[in-house]
Amino acid sequence: MRVQLTSKTVGAALAAGLCLSGTVTARAETWFDEQTAGCLMQYFTDSDHVAVRSAIADYTVALRKASIAMHYNNERVVIPAIESPPGSQEAVDAITTASRPISGNAYSDFVKVRNEFEGSYRQGGIEAGYYYSGESDYIGQQVRASVDRDLRGDQLNVSVGASYGWDAIEPVQDDDTNTGASSKKTTHFNVVATQVVTPSTMVRVGVEYNLVNGLQHNPYRNVYAGGTNVPEQHPDNRQRRDLFLKVNQYLPNRSSLKINYRFYNDDWDIQSHEIGTRLSQYLVRGIYASYEYRWYTQGSSYFYRNEYATVNGIDGYRTGDYRMAVLASHLFGVALDFDLEKLEVKVPVLDRMGLRCNYERYFNSNNYSANFLTTQVTYRF
């Protein structure tokens, strides 16, 4: 298990994102206007030899005046063996990017499976959903709701959303830490406005607020402080807020440019900036390529130190998590999308399908790098 500073998952974020994004041009673009099914496979590997396989299925049922969306994700995570005795400094370093208990034979790979499910119901401009994620040492649940309205003759859409998540954390046996069962609660609010500016330009701006209470550090991680190894300790409370701005511009020659910016800060004193761009270009009718770049930078939390002089750390807090430190990262991506209907494939079934292949390369200032390979198939009924 890796304990996140805030609990987010692809299922909930996906549905929330789809819900919100589906409101962009209101009646002209309704996400749930047809019944669809899709499956996605993603392979992830990184420079620490962590490997994740994700198998995702989505299904949307269109009702007369409403729709139901379902999402399922099965993930298999392989975290490599610890190449040093439990409790040693090397073992601490070895788990800074992927957590695992050090128990019994830590010299073998640690494998875990996670299952996620989400269901949501949407009618008119109202949507409600439930999310569940289960694994051997972590169960996360969440309820959410959002309301959106078209205003100013459908030029502007405003969405207001909220969610409440509660996670149960029960660390498995670990030889050098003794963290007991714990919990985490996350309350989230967001307001998102989308404006049609011109026939070729759309702008979206949003603010988000998260209040997190509970266990927010890695229960398996030790920190070298005051000349010895002691369990990691983060504050129990965290307020996180961000502002994001997105601009989509249609360009001549059937291409588009998307630019986004996000500013984030929290009361642990982390402040970050993110800038992303994506250029999409039709190669032929029904096939387009996308090229992407993302730049990210952040400051450190007030309790992060390279070395702690005493076991009390800073105000009783100490961390071995590099995400609490100054960090910069880059991401490059390339994708290819096929719409077989527009390609006029005259084969039943195939002419209702869409395909997508995507590769992303990520690296950051901690000499960490990762690869994402994704393939996706969608089918419209």
The structure tokens 């409370």 sit at 237
Which residue lies nearer to another protein by CB, 91 or 196? Answer: 196
Q: How far is the CB of 228 from another protein (least distance, A)?
A: 26
Element (H, E) at 91: helix 89-94
Here's the x/- map for another protein, 321-350, by CB under 8 A: it reads as --xx--x-x-x---x-x-x-----------
Which residue lies nearer to another protein by CB, 86 or 206? Answer: 206
Here's the x/- map for another protein, 199-218, by CB under 8 A: it reads as xx-xxxxxxx-x--------
User: In angstroms, rounded to a whole number, what is the distance separating the alpha carbons of residues 140 and 260?
Assistant: 30
Which listed residue (55, 57, 181, 197) binds another protein by CB under 8 A? Answer: 197
Encoded amino acid at 288, one letter: Y
User: In angstroms, rounded to a whole number, what is the distance separating the alpha carbons of residues 146 and 84?
Assistant: 49
Class of residue 108 by CB neighbours under 10 A (exposed 0-12, middle 13-18, buried 19+)? exposed
Which residue lies nearer to another protein by CB, 105 or 253? Answer: 253
Which residue lies nearer to another protein by CB, 224 or 261? Answer: 261
Which residue lies nearer to another protein by CB, 40 or 92? Answer: 40
| Residue 364 binding another protein, by CB under 8 A | yes
User: In angstroms, rounded to a whole number, what is the distance separating the alpha carbons of residues 209 and 222?
Assistant: 30
Strand partners, 292: 278, 333
Contact 43/171 with Cβ under 8 angstroms? no
Which listed residue (61, 70, 193, 343) binds another protein by CB under 8 A? Answer: 193
Q: Which stretch binds another protein (CB under 8 A): 59-67, 182-190, 229-237, 309-317?
A: 182-190
Which residue lies nearer to another protein by CB, 30 or 88? Answer: 30
| Residue 69 binding another protein, by CB under 8 A | no
Binding to another protein, residues 232-291 (CB under 8 A): 240-246, 248, 250, 254-256, 258, 260, 262-266, 270, 272, 274, 278, 280-282, 288, 290
Binding to another protein, residues 46-65 (CB under 8 A): 50, 52, 54
Class of residue 368 by CB neighbours under 10 A (exposed 0-12, middle 13-18, buried 19+)? middle
| Residue 375 binding another protein, by CB under 8 A | no
Strand partners, 291: 279, 334
Q: How far is the CB of 165 from another protein (least distance, A)?
A: 3
Q: How many of the other CB atoms lie within 10 Å of CB of 158?
A: 17
| Residue 380 binding another protein, by CB under 8 A | no
Q: Which two tokens stand for residue 315?
A: 């105000």
Which listed residue (36, 179, 186, 222) binds another protein by CB under 8 A? Answer: 186
Which residue lies nearer to another protein by CB, 233 or 301? Answer: 301
Please choose, from the candidates 234, 239, 356, 244, the residue with its C-alpha nearest in 3D space to the C-alpha of residue 296: 244
| Residue 4 binding another protein, by CB under 8 A | yes
DSSP designation for 128 = E
User: In angstroms, rounded to a whole number, what is the distance separating the alpha carbons of residues 240 and 348?
Assistant: 49
Strands in the chain per DSSP E = 36-46, 51-62, 66-79, 110-123, 126-135, 138-151, 156-169, 182-198, 201-214, 222-225, 228-231, 237-251, 255-266, 271-284, 287-298, 327-339, 353-364, 368-380
Binding to another protein, residues 120-159 (CB under 8 A): 131-133, 135, 138-142, 144, 146, 151-156, 158-159
